[in-house]
Amino acid sequence: MPHLKRAAGLLFLVLVFMFVVPRVMPTPAVLVDFGFHKSNSEQSAEKWAGIPTLYVSTSVCVDCHNDKYTLWQKGNHRVVSCENCHGPATAHLKDGAPEVLNTSRDLCGTCHARLVSRPSDFPQVDMNTMGGDAECITCHDPHEPRAGMPPELPHTMEGRSNCQSCHDPQAHEPFEQIPPQAPHTMEGRSDCLSCHGPTELRGASLPHIPAGLGGTNCLLCHTTGGVKPLPADHTGRTSATCMNCHRLN
């Protein structure tokens, strides 16, 4: 029983400290000056009522910016107020002052920088690598970010290794110029990925160069009429190009 009495006494002291001591202690002047303290409630109300209004309701933006408002209202950013990015709107409405538009990567990173504390399904990226130094709005429409997302591939990547062979960065479909041509014949080649793999330009399925022969003139043996002639589609290649495709054992 003594231990229960000690626990009850300790609990009583804690309750006294929590509920009695704050009531008898004098209120610091800084708290009264801050406002909304019962001892200064009327003056506080007048003081706060006299502060100029800077922000307005997002609903007023629709009167002049209906196209942007409609896109925003249907997008994932509809939970973000216009003034979070455009700044206080009162001066813009009253005096026609230019909107203060924050397009910095830091602003987007406030919500979308990758953090372990954020839900895994929340859109987040590594701000140090995503997009380089370009502003996020270069690719994403801030009113509806998914409107600027790259389109999904309309085809598979099977048998395709070089996107720029068709999708040259200087051209747009329909092509304004002929796609770049392969620098070799296609005779005897049916699968580009046998050489041009996704990780390196050396096909694992091609004959390997025996260990110790790296740097040797391959054409000493592999030439027309030699020990093992070159394939017909290798005509014109020099020894220096062999290791572009063939690995050393």
136-177: pLDDT as tens digits? 887 788 888 877 565 566 677 777 766 666 655 454 454 555
- Model-level pTM? 0.44
C-alpha angle 109/112/113, rounded to 5°? 60
38 vs 109, more confident:
109
What three-state secondary structure class fits 236? Answer: coil
- Average pLDDT rounded to a whole number, residues 38-51: 75
pLDDT digits (tens, 9 = 90+) for 46-93: 777 788 888 888 888 888 889 889 889 888 888 898 888 888 888 888
Tokens representing residue 206 in the block: 């091609």
Q: What is the pLDDT of residue 202?
A: 46
Q: What is the pLDDT of residue 208?
A: 74
Counting Cβ atoms within 10 Å, is residue 77 exposed (0-12), middle (13-18) or buried (19+)? buried
Q: What is the pLDDT of residue 167?
A: 57
Q: What is the pLDDT of residue 47?
A: 77
